[in-house]
Amino acid sequence: MDAQFYLGANAPQGFVSYYSKWLDLSRLNRLYIIKGTPGNGKSGFMKRIASKFEGQNREVIICSGDTKSWDGVYFPKLGVAFVDGTPPHVMEPKYPLAIDTLLPLTHFADDAALSRERKSIMAAQDSMREDYTRLYRVLGAVKNLQDEQKALVNDPAALETLRRRTRGIIRREIKKGTGNGILRKRLLSAFSPDGTATLWSTVSLLADRVYELQDTYRQAHTVLMPICTAALDAGMEVIACYDPCAPTVRLAHLILPEARLAFVSASPKDPYPAEPYRRIRLDAAIPSQVLKGCRLRLRFLKKTESALLEDVSGLLTGIVLQHRELENIYNPHIDFTGIRAFADAYAEKILTDWGK
């Protein structure tokens, strides 16, 4: 089974990317940066190469806009990775041919034929950009609603309760070490046409013990951040997974692979699907009088947030359909037989160069 993550998120501020910090280049034999058009077979190219290395541990980067598509794959045993370096997650070689190599797939496209499709391509691209602008506005409104809910239940007594519980978890689970831990920033959740899509199978793959933080009002960061800091201070590898609505500031999940331990936040809209090692109800820390005093307001905010999230799903559905229409324009003018042969050749090259 592959460890799957997202490295990019549609967020209120636009598309947020962790692609450039995905891997430590100094530890890689080779990073192949794929360039191509929509519908150029970039994802299929990576999947075909991956099929040649079945049984190896792999980290797969899933496209947050289309969860059936791959944006990257990493083979730790070989020290080799492939990544889609096209917008919105543009990547360029940092150490050309020494570590990273451009792989253009555009030479498998009939550029003369595609030039004749320019009006259709331009119209589709422009329409998608407009929908993305609308999407980011709606996500901004969602974040404002979430922030207001969190502010309403913010209470000194509740915060102290959560801090006390967190200190107990750290004493129990994090051994003191020498520091210099490794922080890996990832996303385990993303907005999708079907709602929030969380890659729960990755948690099951990397952790035997899972703390489920039942969290209605985005309080999990208060618990997760001190655990993250303590684990790094102990010299551990930490996979820090951020909230897609606040992907630069708010933790949603933590995975400590060396300890086979994870801390995940779950909500009624996105429940953890397995039986956890321990379940912590963060809402229970909020004093009843605080909840009673703002219950009607919270109910209104939640209802409005749900309506806006339905709008997010609708916009993403439309964007996915438009992207597929764009791919359908390109597909007839792509030499997929040639791309498959190219992938097979690169799989052999990887084995020759790095498989020893």
Tokens representing residue 180 in the block: 């210099």
**Phi/psi-derived region of residue 111, left when phi > 0, alpha when psi is between -120 and 50, beta in every other case:** alpha
Tens-digit pLDDT string for the chain (356 aa): 789 999 998 999 999 999 999 999 988 999 999 999 999 999 999 999 999 998 888 999 999 888 889 999 999 999 999 999 999 999 999 999 999 999 999 999 999 999 999 999 999 999 999 999 999 999 999 999 999 999 999 999 999 999 999 999 999 999 887 778 999 999 999 998 888 899 999 999 999 999 999 999 999 999 999 999 999 999 999 999 999 999 989 999 999 999 999 999 998 888 999 999 999 999 999 999 999 999 999 999 999 999 999 999 999 999 999 999 999 999 999 999 999 999 999 999 999 988 76
What's the confidence (pLDDT) of residue 114? Answer: 96
What's the confidence (pLDDT) of residue 323? Answer: 93
d(CA 211, CA 320): 34
What's the confidence (pLDDT) of residue 180? Answer: 87
Tokens representing residue 126 in the block: 């422009």
What's the confidence (pLDDT) of residue 66? Answer: 85
What's the confidence (pLDDT) of residue 176? Answer: 82
Residues 6 or more apart in contact with residue 82 via CB below 8 angstroms: 31, 32, 34, 45, 46, 49, 72, 73, 74, 103
CB-count burial class (<10 Å; 0-12, 13-18, 19+) for 87: exposed
User: What does pTM read for this prediction?
Assistant: 0.93
8-state DSSP, 258: G
**Location of structure tokens 């806006």:** 308
**Location of structure tokens 């200190």:** 167
Pairing relation of β-strands 14-17 and 30-35? Answer: unpaired
